[in-house]
Amino acid sequence: MSTPPRPPKGPIDIGEDTPQTGIAVKTRAKTKKPAMYKVLMLNDDYTPMEFVVHVLKRFFGKSNQEATRIMLHVHQKGVGVCGVYTYEVAETKVNQTMDLARQQQHPLQCTIEKDGDD
Ligand code: TYC
């Protein structure tokens, strides 16, 4: 009486001739960085410089020096980045800025733009 064939020792052939069954699993890092969005501030001829600096300090957490730098950049170039945030945070900061500007009858405008490098 002969013994049944043993399973092969060593590496199992998973080449094209050995169809695999089961669930296809693609390995991926468990955590994924959220998409990030830039809050852009636009220049206009009427909003006072001090108001823009105030907004950058109050809603965007900037120092007086950084707020002044961003305000002057927007004043000279027409547009500038106030910060980069997740969508909901960016939206909140835009709303806070535009609400206060509206209350004080300044035409200051902010927009959200998807950040390129993420
Ligand atoms: N250009 C405005 C002025 O001369 C100042 C200003 C700066 C307005 C930045 C808006 O986003 C702005 N009073």
Q: What confidence tens digit (pLDDT) does each residue in 72-115 have?
A: 999 999 999 999 999 999 999 999 999 999 999 999 999 999 99
- The helix/strand/coil state of 75 is helix
CB 55 less than 6 A from any atom of ligand 1: no
Give me the pLDDT at residue 12, please.
Answer: 46
Spatial distance between the Cα atoms of 74 and 57, rounded to a whole number of angstroms: 15
Report pTM. Answer: 0.77
At 8-29, the pLDDT tens digits run: 454 544 445 555 567 677 787 7
Give me the pLDDT at residue 27, please.
Answer: 80
Confidence label for 1 from pLDDT (cuts 50, 70 and 90):
very low
Selection from 89, 92, 91, 81 nearest residue 115 by Cα: 81
Indicate the pairing of strand 109-114 with strand 79-85.
unpaired
CB 43 less than 6 A from any atom of ligand 1: yes
User: Which amino acid would we find at residue 102?
Assistant: R
Candidates 40, 50, 70, 75: which one to mutate for ligand 1, based on the most atoms within 8 Å of Cβ? 75
Selection from 50, 51, 118, 111 nearest residue 82 by Cα: 111
CB 49 less than 6 A from any atom of ligand 1: yes
Report how far ligand 1's centroid is from the alpha carbon of 85 (Å): 23
The residue-averaged pLDDT of 22-45 equals 88
